[in-house]
């Protein structure tokens, strides 16, 4: 099973490391042809606006949207979740638009306001979570399940085989969110 990590910008290496620890082959995704035959794709944290700009010229954004609509499993963390979201409440653009949530960008403040906390996630238990200029979910559609909240706000959500996390599971050494993602990848095959 080969899983992709969108590699145009962001904390690609950290995700690759976690996935390799879990025993899957990983392919960095930079161009549309890299999507071929993947069991799933991780969209990392970073800067969503920059990622989208870098995906445009090669056609990767459109190709990825097509794959996701056809059921490619995905895990989007932080900026990656912004890329997946149907709506961004405080930004005029939308990107892939395949996950029925509205997110507020930078809802936890600036870089210096970054923090680590413990979340209680359905089916996963207590989870360490790092928030860095994180998006918070402000609306979820009827098909979306909330797996964890920080205060009132959903921060780990699932719709079908697409997972979105406001935080960075790739930075804590805890592999359970990636483990859940790989379960979804296996289901699809
Ligand atoms: N604030 C960033 C964005 O809007 C996301 C931050 C992150 O991924 N750590 O894309």
Residue 99 pairs in a beta bridge with 85
For 45, the 3-state DSSP assignment is: coil
Ligand 1 contact via 61 beta carbon (within 6 Å): no
Q: What is the pTM of this model?
A: 0.97
For 58, the 3-state DSSP assignment is: coil
Which parts of the chain sit beneath pLDDT 70?
Answer: 189
Considering the candidates 14, 15, 159, 168, report the single residue annotated as catalytic. 168
Q: Is 168 a catalytic residue?
A: yes
Q: Are 127 and 163 in contact (CB under 8 A)?
A: no
Task: Please tell me the distance between residue 103's alpha carbon and the centre of ligand 1 in angstroms.
Answer: 11
Q: Is 185 a catalytic residue?
A: no
| Number of domains composing the chain | 1
Q: Is 78 a catalytic residue?
A: yes
Ligand 1 contact via 85 beta carbon (within 6 Å): no
> Residue 48 is part of a domain; what is its CATH number?
3.40.50.880
How far, in Å, CA of 145 to CA of 67, rounded?
22
Q: Are 98 and 68 in contact (CB under 8 A)?
A: yes
pLDDT, position 178: 98
Which of 74, 77, 108 minimizes the C-alpha distance to 90?
A: 108
Task: Please tell me the distance between residue 167's alpha carbon and the centre of ligand 1 in angstroms.
Answer: 10
Which residues form the domain of 113? 2-188
Residue nearest to atom 2 of ligand 1 (CA): 47
pLDDT, position 189: 67
pLDDT, position 188: 78
């Amino acid at each position: 099973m080969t899983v992709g990590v969108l590699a145009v910008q962001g904390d690609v290496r950290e995700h690759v490391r976690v996935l390799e620890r879990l025993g899957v082959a990983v392919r960095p995704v930079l161009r549309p042809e890299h999507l071929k035959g993947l069991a799933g794709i991780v969209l990392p944290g970073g800067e969503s606006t920059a990622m989208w700009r870098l995906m445009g010229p090669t056609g990767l954004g459109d190709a990825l949207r097509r794959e996701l609509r056809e059921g490619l499993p995905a895990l989007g963390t932080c900026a990656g979740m912004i890329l997946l979201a149907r709506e961004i409440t405080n930004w005029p653009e939308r990107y892939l638009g395949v996950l029925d949530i509205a997110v507020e960008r930078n809802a936890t403040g600036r870089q210096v306001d970054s923090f680590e906390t413990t979340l209680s996630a359905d089916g996963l238990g207590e989870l360490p979570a790092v928030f860095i200029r994180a998006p918070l979910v402000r609306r979820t559609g009827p098909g979306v399940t909330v797996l964890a909240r920080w205060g009132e706000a959903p921060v780990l959500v699932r719709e079908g085989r697409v997972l979105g996390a406001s935080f960075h599971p790739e930075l804590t050494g805890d592999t359970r969110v990636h483990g859940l993602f790989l379960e979804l990848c296996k289901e699809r095959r």
